[in-house]
A and B are shown apart, each in its own frame.
Chain A
Amino acid sequence: MNILVLNCGSSSVKYQFINPDTQRELAQGIVERIGMSGAVLRNKRHDGDEIAISGEILDHAIAIDYILAVLLSKNHGVIKDKKEIDAVGHRVVHGGETFTQSVLITDDVVKGIRDNIELAPLHNPHNLRGITACINHLPDTPQVAVFDTAFHQKMSPYAYLYGIPYSLYRRYKIRRYGFHGTSHRYVSERVARLMEKPYDSLKLITCHLGNGCSMAAIDGGTSIDTTMGFTPLEGLLMGTRSGDMDPSVILYIMAKEELGSSEANALLNKHSGLMGISGVSSDMRDVLEEAQEGNKQAAHAFNVFCYRIKKYIGAYAAALNGLDAIIFTGGIGENSADVRMKSLSGLSYLGINIDESLNASAKNEMKITTPDSTVSVYVIPTNEELMIALDTMTIVQEKEKAVV
Chain B
Amino acid sequence: MNKENPQKIEDLLGDTLPTQSETEQISYVAIIGIGVMGRGIAQAIAAAGIDVLGVERNQDVAEESMEVIKQNLDREIQRWAITKSERQSILSRIKVTDDLEQVTECDIVIEAIDEEFKAKEDLLTTLDDLCSDETIFISNTSTLNLTKLADKTNRADKIIGMHFLQPVPKVPLVEIVRALKTSDDTFKKVKAFAEQLNKTVVEVYEYPGFVTTRVIVPMLNEAMHVLMEGIASAEGIDTAMRLGYNQPMGPLELADTIGLDEVHTWMETLFHELGDLKYRPCPILKKLVREGKLGKKTGEGFFKYNELGQKIL
Residues in A lying within 8 Å of B, measured CB to CB:
11, 35-37, 40, 42, 49-55, 58-59, 61-62, 65-66, 69-70, 73, 75-76, 240, 257, 259, 262-264, 266-267, 270-271
CA distance A70 to B80 in the complex (A): 41
Contact in complex: A55, B21 (CB < 8 Å): no
Contact in complex: B23, A59 (CB < 8 Å): yes
Contact in complex: B6, A259 (CB < 8 Å): no
CA distance A74 to B13 in the complex (A): 9
Give chain B residues whose Cβ lies under 8 Å from the Cβ of A76.
12
Given the interface pairs A52-B3, A53-B12, the reply to whether A11 lies near B49 with Cβ below 8 Å is yes
Give chain B residues whose Cβ lies under 8 Å from the Cβ of A266.
80-83
Contact in complex: B6, A54 (CB < 8 Å): yes
- Chain B nearest Cβ from A207, distance in angstroms: 26
Contact in complex: B80, A271 (CB < 8 Å): yes
Given the interface pairs A54-B6, A271-B80, the reply to whether A73 lies near B12 with Cβ below 8 Å is yes
Given the interface pairs A58-B21, A61-B19, A69-B18, the reply to whether A259 lies near B12 with Cβ below 8 Å is no
Contact in complex: A55, B49 (CB < 8 Å): no
Which of chain B's residues has its CB closest to A132's CB?
Answer: B22
Contact in complex: B83, A62 (CB < 8 Å): no
Which of chain B's residues has its CB closest to A44's CB?
Answer: B1
- Determine whether B79 belongs to the interface, using a CB cutoff of 8 Å to chain A: yes
- Determine whether B290 belongs to the interface, using a CB cutoff of 8 Å to chain A: no
CA distance A360 to B19 in the complex (A): 51
CA distance A75 to B12 in the complex (A): 8
Other A-B contacts than A11-B49, A36-B27, A58-B21, 12 sampled, CB-CB below 8 A, are A50-B3, A52-B6, A58-B25, A58-B27, A69-B9, A69-B16, A76-B12, A259-B80, A263-B80, A264-B80, A266-B81, A270-B82
Q: Binary interface profile of B, 148-174, with partner A (CB < 8 Å = 1, else 0)?
A: 000000000000000000000000000
Contact in complex: B1, A51 (CB < 8 Å): yes
CA distance A49 to B12 in the complex (A): 14
- Chain A nearest Cβ from B84, distance in angstroms: 10
Contact in complex: B18, A65 (CB < 8 Å): yes
Give chain A residues whose Cβ lies under 8 Å from the Cβ of B79.
257, 259, 263
Contact in complex: A59, B16 (CB < 8 Å): no
Report how many residues on chain B are interfacial, defined by Cβ distance under 8 Å: 24
Interface positions, chain B 27-57, Cβ under 8 Å from A, are 27-28, 49, 51
- State the 8 A-B residue pairs at the shortest beta-carbon distance, nearest first: A58-B21, A267-B80, A65-B18, A54-B6, A52-B6, A263-B81, A51-B1, A55-B9
Give chain A residues whose Cβ lies under 8 Å from the Cβ of B83.
240, 266, 270-271
CA distance A262 to B79 in the complex (A): 11
Q: Binary interface profile of B, 256-297, with partner A (CB < 8 Å = 1, else 0)?
A: 000000000000000000000000000000000000000000
Which of chain A's residues has its CB closest to B7's CB?
Answer: A53
Give chain B residues whose Cβ lies under 8 Å from the Cβ of A58.
21, 23, 25, 27
CA distance A66 to B79 in the complex (A): 40
- Chain B nearest Cβ from A271, distance in angstroms: 5
Q: Binary interface profile of B, 77-90, with partner A (CB < 8 Å = 1, else 0)?
A: 00111110000000
Give chain A residues whose Cβ lies under 8 Å from the Cβ of B3.
42, 50, 52
Contact in complex: A36, B51 (CB < 8 Å): yes
Across the interface, A262 reaches (CB within 8 A) one of B16, B22, B81, namely: B81
Which of chain A's residues has its CB closest to B196's CB?
Answer: A35
CA distance A263 to B24 in the complex (A): 30
- Determine whether B118 belongs to the interface, using a CB cutoff of 8 Å to chain A: no
Give chain A residues whose Cβ lies under 8 Å from the Cβ of B27.
35-37, 58
CA distance A37 to B28 in the complex (A): 8
CA distance A50 to B6 in the complex (A): 11
